[in-house]
Copies of this chain bind each other. A is one copy, B any other.
Amino acid sequence: MEKTNLQTDKEINDITVDKQTFKDGSICGYDSLHTLLSANLKPHIFQEVSRLLLGLNCGKPLELIALPASVKAIFCEHDFDLQAFSFRAEKELLRAPHVVRVGLIQNSIALPTTAHFLDQKRAIYQKLKLMIDAAGASGVNILCLQEAWMMPFAFCTREKSWCEFAEPVDGESTRFLQELAQKYNMVIVSPILERDVNHGDTIWNTAVIIGNHGNIIGKHRKNHIPRVGDFNESTYYMEGNTGHPVFETAYGKIAVNICYGRHHPLNWLAFGLNGAEIVFNPSATVGELSEPMWPIEARNAAIANSYFVGSINRVGTEVFPNPFTSGDGKPQHADFGHFYGSSHFSAPDASCTPSLSRHRDGLLISDMDLNLCRQLKDKWGFRMTARYELYADLLARYLKPDYEPQVISDPLLHKKSS
């Protein structure tokens, strides 16, 4: 049975939810929060819940986009998730609409981590080719892949052998995508593990921006590196040195906030100050750690900065050859936890799309009128009311080792109650 953007509330009413629970307490047998709610709530109640949760005006669902039958057939065959929505914007009198079609791909690895590295890479390319072809055939203008899409997310192991996967910005995976970008006249954002051969083989976590003519427009290196849970990324690479670039592409101004950077409101802000209209957040994150934060941070960034956000998380559970401990006192184990997918788009008007599956590979497409960004700036005036001078001053003072916080203590703090 096809499970795509064409399914209606009625069609998914047959979803049964298994009471069996995973290690992280989640239950099995459903695809996403959206399908769980739509399958189990009466339509008028689901409408009200959608109004509150998805920020949909009067609870009216986002319009669906019709996709080519060939694309739907291929995704059905592979049991990939496929959803496509159109955000709403006002018509303006002095500017034509600036509608772009944007795609996000989430995927599991294609071979076990025990397979030969070369085979693992080839298998991922093969799977991705199929999904990128589908995006191209669907008329996607800008496509973003997940963080370090060309390898397993092996940083939990602390083993340096996985660095073999790292490539220069103009390496094999970039060349693979350049061909597809040119073929489909499509901008592709490719987050890879980068090997900087011109700087002593330094490793970075980098997004390569490939233009719609297949040219490399530039790169951005991940600004904030986690040291939490099994995300031992600081063992592999350091904080990026590329600032907060916004890439002016044929279709719009885009930027990339890689993974853990989504926890840093200042990182989101900086891309906004530089004029981003769409910020991608290619990620790899697991359920027990971050799932309740996942829909919050991206939507907050879209609202606060008046731009669109495309959030991508990989899917599946990756099991590694050698067991490792996780600094939590628990016995050694060989997997990272469940990458819960749930890729989605957030808009500056606080609306968002439903999320892709928590379990399946998928392609999410959305049409968005980039005029909406300025419309929301004009409406809410966040930039004008932001008083940046206060914060430039505060941060400059805070940086000093002898910073004294502004604290007003109750002079009666140590008086006993009468």
Binding site for B on A (CB under 8 A): 17, 19, 21, 24-27, 30, 33, 36-37, 40-42, 44-45, 47-49, 51-60, 182, 185, 209, 211-213, 215, 217-218, 223-228, 239, 243-250, 253, 260, 263-266, 268-270, 273-275, 291-293, 296-297, 299-300, 303-304, 350-351, 379-382, 384-392, 394-396, 398-399, 405-413, 415, 417-418
Cβ contact within 8 Å between B408 and A264: no
The 9 closest A-B pairs by CB, nearest first: A25-B58, A55-B292, A265-B265, A392-B395, A300-B300, A248-B409, A274-B405, A218-B408, A266-B391
Which of chain B's residues have a CB closer than 8 A to the CB of A58? 21, 24-25
Which of A59, A270, A296 has the most B CB atoms < 10 Å from its CB? A296
**Cα(A169)–Cα(B92), bound, Å:** 46
When the two chains form the complex, which single residue of B37, B303, B410 contacts A297, counting CB atoms closer than 8 Å? B303
- The oligomer's copy count stands at 2
Which of chain B's residues have a CB closer than 8 A to the CB of A386? 224, 264, 266
Whose C-beta in chain B lies nearest to the C-beta of A412? B213
Cross-chain pairs A/B with CB under 8 angstroms, 7 sampled: A26-B48, A26-B51, A40-B45, A227-B385, A264-B386, A270-B390, A273-B405
Closest-CB distance, A339 to chain B (whole angstroms)? 16
Which of chain B's residues have a CB closer than 8 A to the CB of A215? 410-412
Which of chain B's residues have a CB closer than 8 A to the CB of A51? 25-26, 291-292
**Cα(A30)–Cα(B51), bound, Å:** 14
Closest-CB distance, A257 to chain B (whole angstroms)? 13
**Cα(A269)–Cα(B250), bound, Å:** 35
Q: Contacts A385-B226, A387-B239, A417-B213 hold; do A250 and B25 have CB atoms under 8 A apart?
A: no
Cβ contact within 8 Å between B410 and A250: yes
When the two chains form the complex, which single residue of B275, B303, B390 contacts A223, counting CB atoms closer than 8 Å? B390
**Cα(A161)–Cα(B244), bound, Å:** 48
Q: Contacts A296-B296, A300-B296 hold; do A211 and B389 have CB atoms under 8 A apart?
A: no
Cβ contact within 8 Å between A36 and B49: yes
When the two chains form the complex, which single residue of B27, B225, B293 contacts A385, counting CB atoms closer than 8 Å? B225
Q: Contacts A52-B292, A350-B296 hold; do A382 and B264 have CB atoms under 8 A apart?
A: yes
**Cα(A227)–Cα(B379), bound, Å:** 8
When the two chains form the complex, which single residue of B48, B213, B270, B293 contacts A350, counting CB atoms closer than 8 Å? B293
Which of chain B's residues have a CB closer than 8 A to the CB of A388? 266, 395, 398-399
Which of chain B's residues have a CB closer than 8 A to the CB of A292? 51-56, 350-351
Which of chain B's residues have a CB closer than 8 A to the CB of A264? 304, 382, 385-386
Which of A30, A266, A268 has the most B CB atoms < 10 Å from its CB? A266
Q: Contacts A51-B26, A223-B390, A391-B266 hold; do A244 and B406 have CB atoms under 8 A apart?
A: yes
Which of chain B's residues have a CB closer than 8 A to the CB of A379? 228
**Cα(A353)–Cα(B275), bound, Å:** 36
**Cα(A351)–Cα(B270), bound, Å:** 27
Closest-CB distance, A27 to chain B (whole angstroms)? 5
Which of chain B's residues have a CB closer than 8 A to the CB of A413? 248-250
Cβ contact within 8 Å between B33 and A248: no
**Cα(A96)–Cα(B345), bound, Å:** 43
Which of A185, A224, A225 has the most B CB atoms < 10 Å from its CB? A224
Cβ contact within 8 Å between A408 and B245: yes
Closest-CB distance, A45 to chain B (whole angstroms)? 6
